[in-house]
Amino acid sequence: CNELFSYTAREGLVHQREAGTQWMARRGVFTDVSRTAIFAGAQNAITTILLTLFHVGDCIATDVFTYSNLIGIARLAHIRLIAVPGDTEGMSAEALESLCCKQHISGIFLMPDHANPTTITMREARRDALSVVCEKYSLIIIEDDASLLTGKHRTFYSRLPDQTIYIAATTRHIASGLRVTFATFPEQWRSAVMGGLFVTSIKASPLDAEILSQLIVSGKAEKILEEKARLSL
């Protein structure tokens, strides 16, 4: 109990991260505790990733309309966001490849399900096509997954696990007041991401993380999602 009121284990307590791996597994993202960390929301995760895996002047591909706070974070980090044209199914793979041919692109930010602010959800064929381009040009993929549904679409992480940082939505689905988000990353970036989390000194509340972990382990988190899905019909 004392651990819930301490400032240790900034990446989250082991059993809380285990709950996180369980939560991500429902979306077909299979990882382990050593490559999982708890952040104080998706924005905190994105900030840490931009500060640790990218450098001043790097270019990241995004949708033409993208998450507004990503724009603010990129400006603070002096990272360039390059808008890639798309259609009703999301970013165009052909446009992304054309961009990568013309200039050096270090990474890509994707919200393949219920994108913010467009609400677009990509079909499998579009995800496949974008994955081919991402692999060809070795892009660092930041995947912010906002899906409520289990296994309806494959994640980019399941396609390219060695170059994708996967951010699992929790606060926007379970309770907005619980500022807790799980993220997993390839082993090659574990030290950098964990180090960035330590240096930024932004730690998710252990008490919030415990509440969310217990909801997941008990199965109540699934019931909340099911009820929200029912009410949305």
For the stretch 80-127, pLDDT in tens is 999 999 999 999 999 999 999 999 999 999 999 989 999 999 999 999
Q: What is the pLDDT of residue 61?
A: 98
Q: What is the pLDDT of residue 196?
A: 86
Give exposure, 53-91, as e/b (b: 16+ Cβ within 10 Å).
bbeeebbbbbbeebbeebeebbeebebbbeebebeeebb
- CA–CA separation, 43 vs 170, rounded Å? 12
Query: Within the chain, what is the greatest distance between any pair of CA atoms?
Result: 55
- CA–CA separation, 30 vs 157, rounded Å? 9
Angle at 169 between CA 163 and CA 175, to 5 degrees: 165
Global confidence as pTM: 0.87
Residue 61 · residue 108 · CB < 8 Å = yes
Q: What is the pLDDT of residue 126?
A: 97
Low-confidence ranges of the chain (pLDDT < 70): 1-9, 148-151, 171-173, 175-176, 201-203, 232-233
Residue 29 · residue 184 · CB < 8 Å = yes
Q: What is the pLDDT of residue 201?
A: 60
- CA–CA separation, 115 vs 69, rounded Å? 13
- CA–CA separation, 95 vs 70, rounded Å? 21
